[in-house]
Structure 1
């Protein structure tokens, strides 16, 4: 039962990713698909699990505690959820730099060389920075304000695009 609850939580993230990507493209289907992808399985699962809970009572929870299958399935659902979040962060976080170096008459754009070595490196480093801030106990509001400040300073001084 806990696995199904965990799967519903991950389904929300997957549905959000699909809805957000469609909204970014200007499609009105984004919020509609989010609601359909998340709510239809969510309502069906809630109904059936409520019926199972009424029939089983506390014996279901006691039986689930002793099984190692529950832990393995929970770990698998967590891994899948982390993979989805990782893919979303790579596609949703866009960070680039317009910095360029001129040697002689040749201009070298830093972003093109960074993309050749490691595509989306700046985005990945910023995601790791945000994750590190979360691990140190910084609140999401503080991280959002930090992101806005970095964007404004970077755009003002011209080292972020």
Structure 2
């Protein structure tokens, strides 16, 4: 039998403020937001699990708690690291015994913009910057410390954000929704620009694709000519090419397959340089670091 969620709670007396211990507990529990992810209600079960300690303290009336749990099982899809922002707002409304329909509407309007903001803040900004710094440490020092440091920095940052958003939005109430929606576009754009700038710097710093070809007699190193025009030109062209393909409708999977095919064929025909630091039997460096399957030109003799 379907449960009809009432529009108003039976006990309309505002509940006392939630203590910091309960708020902090819900911050920890919000980490399991996607533990019960499904395609019917997305993150609804994890959302209810995370917010339940607060609801239990707010609604001492069992029927009100039942109604609150029911409407908090509505479809929800938001950024998992910023979900405590929505939790704080909803808890503030629940505490003041707002209409259930009002709470449901505010929850949807608050959760929606967080997807773009969270992606810009974390995946386009924090991850490239942190990964770029720690990956460089791991490569130079040949140590696992870089990988550990990445995990520590990333998770510490996202957990501090969870904790701060929970307390800030709970104390601010519905005003937080207005602040979010009025500045969401500008914030997302600023974070996206910073992320794109960082990704561009990573391409210039770590883009290692180079040409192995030598032409003319005496042999001319093609890569040397390209570096004279613009260093890291080939990684830049590859990035711009993939961007153009994605704009035309290509999926990331197709782009990855294309890169694999071009990379394998290019190495087989001696087009791309492989920097494996390989040496021959005499200890001299092997140009390109590998022997291509098809040799259609001669490299200059190693000095």
TM-score of the superposed pair, with normalisation by structure 1: 0.84
* Partner residue in 2 for 1:31: 147
Which runs of 5 or more residues in structure 1 are unaligned? none
Cα distance in 2 between the residues matched to 1:64 and 1:74: 11
Q: Which has the higher helix share?
A: 1
Q: Quick one: distance in 2 between partners of 1:150 and 1:85?
A: 22
Aligned to 2:239: 127
What SS does structure 2 have at the residue aligned with 1:96?
coil
Q: CA deviation at 1:143?
A: 1.1
Deviation readout 1:81-100 (Å, 9 max, x if unpaired): 11001111222331111111
The structure whose RCO (Cα within 8 Å, separation 6+) is larger is 1
Displacement of 1:44: 1.2
Rg larger in structure: 2
Residue number in structure 2 paired with 1:17: 132
Cα deviation per residue 1:97-137 (whole Å; 9 max; x = unaligned)?
Answer: 1111123xx22111011111111111111111111122122
Distance 1:145 1:22 in 2: 29
Q: Which moved more, 1:55-64 or 1:30-39?
A: 55-64
Q: Residues 157 and 8 (structure 1 numbering): CA distance in 2 closer, same or farther, change over 3 Å? A: closer
Structure 2 residue corresponding to 1:79, chosen from 193, 198, 201? 193
Structure 2 unaligned blocks of 5 or more: 1-84, 86-113, 274-303
| TM-score normalised by the chain length of structure 2 | 0.47
**Mapping for residues 120-159 of structure 1, pairs under 5 Å:** 120-159=232-271
Q: CA deviation at 1:75?
A: 2.5
CA distance in 2 between partners of 1:15 and 1:112 (Å): 32
Superposed CA deviations along residues 19-52 of structure 1, whole A, max 9, x for unmatched, are 3333334221121111122122221121010112
Q: Segments of 4+ in structure 1 off by > 6 A? A: none
Output the CA distance in 1 between the equivalents of 2:247 and 2:146.
31
Query: Shift of residue 157 of structure 1?
Result: 1.2
Is 2:275 the counterpart of 1:160?
no
Matches within 5 A, 1:27-66: 27-66=143-182
- Cross-structure match for 2:294: none
Aligned to 1:91: 205
